[in-house]
Amino acid sequence: MIDVLVKPQDEGKKLHRYIRQLLPGVPLSGIYKMLRTGRVKVNGKRGKSEQVVQAGDVIHLYMAEEDFARASKPARKFGGVSRDVEIIHEDESLIVVNKPVGLLVHGAGNEQKDTLVNRVLAYLYDRDPTAYQVFAPAPVNRLDRNTSGLVIFGKTNAVTAELAQQIAAHHVSKWYLAIVRGVLPERGEINVPLSRTDRGNRTLAVDPDASRRAAASVGKASLTRYERKATTGRTSVAKVDLVSGRTHQIRAHFERIGHPLWGDVKYGGRVSDRDGTDQHQWLHAAWMELPDGRRFHAPLPADFTAVLRRLGYTAKDLQQIETF
């Protein structure tokens, strides 16, 4: 018999899912057979597929040690994965990091190894290789490759699910800093429905009247509020309150009002490259506030600050931009 102690990060999972992740070498049909035939017990009592495991539960598996060794998940390996990750906050339930420009959150295509997820997991693995054998901390929000700033990882199954639900319900407040073209009004809001198109992976602003006529098929209600933090005349820096959180919402909304993000070629931001400031959209997830009142801040990265200086923003402007 093999005894396995349920760790806090795995609390809240259904028993069949927990066993499936503990024994990836056993097919799902085999997991159900083990449960059906009484080869899985929880705290000495026969385990039921749908029961929820709690931290401190002892799972008894009636199988040979060699079979368990073959079927159980081996320790993750992170050789060659960068540990370069800026930690903004960490406690026993979550970890908040400042994602740099150019790094994917999740793997895609040929880029599977150097991702923000793997960097965070490698950072945690270095401290305790066995801590996350079943549950792997996961991000609850995502940023585009060329958007920098705050990404939150849940460190337990329960916290990850709760944070994801809070974000989906718009109970987590998020503010971005964006460089936009032209002189932006001091403050305002953009209440324009958005829809996604496969052509060019774009988000399109929809005529509000058309949306009211066919809301379900034309676009989803989307609201962005903004405050101008500074301007040089050529560009402005906006603090953006992402109220609804659609894909590419900030980029599409600012294109719609004639102030596209600086360097954002996909959404109307093409400029000359003479000053080296238009490599990509300049957008930074700067602040995030959880329902419990905790607020996190990711300082502007060095390349973002350098672009602001090249565009003519002063030290006083930079201080104002960083002030909530």
* Dihedral, CA of residue 316, residue 319, residue 320 and residue 322, to nearest 10: 160
Any catalytic annotation for residue 198?
no
Q: Which residue has the tokens 């098929």?
A: 217
- Expressed in percent and rounded to 5, the helix, strand and coil fractions of the chain are 30, 25, 45
H/E segment holding residue 29 = helix 28-36
Beta carbons within 10 angstroms of residue 277's beta carbon: 19
Q: Which residues contact 251 (CB under 8 A, 6 or more apart)?
A: 203, 260, 261, 264, 266, 267, 281, 283
How large is the C-alpha radius of gyration of the chain?
24
User: How open is the CA angle 119-287-237, to the nearest 5 degrees?
Assistant: 110
Single out the catalytic residue among 114, 144, 241, 303. Answer: 144
Residues belonging to the active site: 144
